[in-house]
């Protein structure tokens, strides 16, 4: 599958190679309070909990997958002119995730053949509904970027964020590991989003909360700096950080929204307009130290509706 020349593999490789190296601080603050007690989201735990062999679309430098293919089971009839976008009933986000997950168009993989700790998908919003999801988030971090043209959803294992692991891995320093395994994998968004051209472009970093605070705050701020430098018109203050609390078992339980994200797009929703919503389980709200119980999550992380673009009709 090819998304015009924008995502031409050779062009992208040469562009990324020419980019300046991101500026990473020499060290991150140490946060060891939970290492002994908590499971770390890494391939042997997170990967085993939610491994799935997704082989859709064109593989890019960061294992970003871009696809327009959709199975007939996921499509609605094109003759329908308007419908309400599919969303959880009040207090029923767990049930909605359980029903919706088997009908995903794309699930972001958490493992690759090369063993990379970061993966991502980009789905263009065209003239068919799209559902994209990621699960297994009980320490991992996800970047969500949306616009009227499409959505990007990533999965970053926790291990590159944890200094104690990185300082002894392959002889690399802690910030070198984080730079190579997380920051470098954000480069592809430069080719996918432009807030100057589409002011609706929105970015959220969904990451672990510990003791009521973002556990890897310095690392998340570094990711924000990088995203702001890559996407024209996107300012650091535009990027939201949403904390979550989730356990390993809940994040892989198909009956729970905990530790999972779904992007749901419909090209003919809300009085015939195109629309999308992003839903996440175990999310926190300002002033709260723990993730909300499922019955109290009744608003999406991000939502937008607009008059259909020409290629969305």
3-state secondary structure of 260: coil
Question: Could you give the residue ranges of the DSSP H alpha helices within the chain?
Answer: 9-18, 48-50, 93-100, 163-166, 174-181, 217-230, 248-252
The strand pair at 118-124 and 64-66 is best described as parallel
Q: What is the pLDDT of residue 123?
A: 96
Pairwise CA distance, residues 266 & 179, whole Å: 36
Q: What is the pLDDT of residues 195-233, one digit of tens each?
A: 999 999 999 999 999 888 999 999 999 999 999 999 999
Between 30 and 256, name the one with better pLDDT. 256
Q: Which residues pair with 65 in a beta bridge?
A: 59, 121
Q: What is the pLDDT of residue 38?
A: 55
Q: What is the pLDDT of residue 172?
A: 64
Highest mean pLDDT among 32-46, 102-116, 239-253: 239-253
Q: Which residues pair with 214 in a beta bridge?
A: 209
Q: Quick check: 151 and 95 in contact, CB under 8 A? A: no
Q: What is the pLDDT of residues 94-124, one digit of tens each?
A: 999 999 999 999 999 887 666 678 999 999 9
Q: Quick check: 190 and 230 in contact, CB under 8 A? A: yes
- Min mean pLDDT across 147-151, 166-170, 188-192 is at 166-170
Q: What is the pLDDT of residues 259-285, one digit of tens each?
A: 999 999 999 997 779 999 999 999 988
3-state secondary structure of 43: helix
Taking the model in full, what pTM does it have?
0.77
Q: Roughly how many angstroms between the first and final C-alpha of the chain, as a whole number?
A: 21
Sign, Cα dihedral of 9, 10, 11, 13: positive
Break the chain down into helix, strand, coil percent, rounded to 5.
25, 25, 50
């Amino acid at each position: 599958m090819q998304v015009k020349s924008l995502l031409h593999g050779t062009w992208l490789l040469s562009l990324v190679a020419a980019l300046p190296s991101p500026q990473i601080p020499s060290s991150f603050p140490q946060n060891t309070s939970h290492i002994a007690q908590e499971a770390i989201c890494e391939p042997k735990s997170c990967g085993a909990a939610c491994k799935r062999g997704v082989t859709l679309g064109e593989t890019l430098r960061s294992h970003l997958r871009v696809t327009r293919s959709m199975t007939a089971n996921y499509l609605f009839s094109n003759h329908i002119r308007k419908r309400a976008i599919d969303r959880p009933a009040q207090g029923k986000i767990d049930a909605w995730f359980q029903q919706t997950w088997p009908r995903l168009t794309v699930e972001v993989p958490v493992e690759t053949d090369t063993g990379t700790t970061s993966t991502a998908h980009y789905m263009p919003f065209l003239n068919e509904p799209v559902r994209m999801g990621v699960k297994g988030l009980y320490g991992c971090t996800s970047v969500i970027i949306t616009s009227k043209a499409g959505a990007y959803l990533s999965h970053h294992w926790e291990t590159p964020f944890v200094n104690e692991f990185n300082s002894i891995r392959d002889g690399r320093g802690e910030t070198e590991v984080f730079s190579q395994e997380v920051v470098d994998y954000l480069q592809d968004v430069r080719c996918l989003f432009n807030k100057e051209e589409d002011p609706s472009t929105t970015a959220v970093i969904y990451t672990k909360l510990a003791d009521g605070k973002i556990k890897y705050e310095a690392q998340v701020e570094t990711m924000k700096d990088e995203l702001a430098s890559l996407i024209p018109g996107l300012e650091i203050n535009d990027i939201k950080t949403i904390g979550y609390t989730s356990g390993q078992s809940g994040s892989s339980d198909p009956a729970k929204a905990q530790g999972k994200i779904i992007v749901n797009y419909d090209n003919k929703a809300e009085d015939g307009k195109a629309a999308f919503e992003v839903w996440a389980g175990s999310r926190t709200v300002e002033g709260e130290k723990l993730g909300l119980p499922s019955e109290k999550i009744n608003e999406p992380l991000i939502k937008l509706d607009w008059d259909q673009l020409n290629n969305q009709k």
